[in-house]
A = this chain, B = another copy of it.
Amino acid sequence: MKENCFYCEDGEKRRSLMIEICKLEVSTVYLNKDQKHKGRCVLKFNEHKTDFSALTPEENAAFARDLRKLACVLNKLYCPDKINYAVYGDLVPHLHVHVVPKYKDALQWGGPFTDDIEKKLLTPNEYEIEVSRIRKELES
């Protein structure tokens, strides 16, 4: 638990950006509130580590299993044409992966996804539908 890390604090700031779906082996899956890429999630390594090199081999293996599991579920539910994955976090170094389904000829297809354009927010009910279906598949 690191101070001034919103992933560790897991409070208002985190909730303003994403909705918890469920926990996996060593990570937590969130639905990104900005759903301009349908199905976009964040996978957070639970402990405060800042790079793959800081994980033990066992943690690294478990995180990779969690990531693959999420990839399988998003492919099944959303049928994207590609999934983009990114670990940035220069300023928020807690290890987390942006998992971003991309759709052919749709938003930012063929280029990196960016967050500098208008967000697409859903209604509480719409969020709940997406969270529930992803959770159901992850837990099955």
Contacts and interface: CB of A to CB of B under 8 A. Distances in A.
Interface in A30-73: 50-53, 55, 57, 60-61, 63-65, 67-68, 71-72
B53 A68 contact: yes
B93 A88 contact: no
A90 interface: yes
Contacts of A8: none
Given A51-B71, A53-B68, A85 B82 contact: no
A86 B63 contact: no
Interface residues of A, number: 35
Contact of A89 (B60, B67, B82, B87): B82
Most chain B CB atoms below 10 A, which of A63, A64, A71, A93: A64
A127 B87 CA distance: 26
Contacts of A132: none
Contacts of A84: 86-90
B64 A51 contact: no
Interface string A70-96: 011001000001111111111101000
B82 A51 contact: yes
Contacts of A93: 82
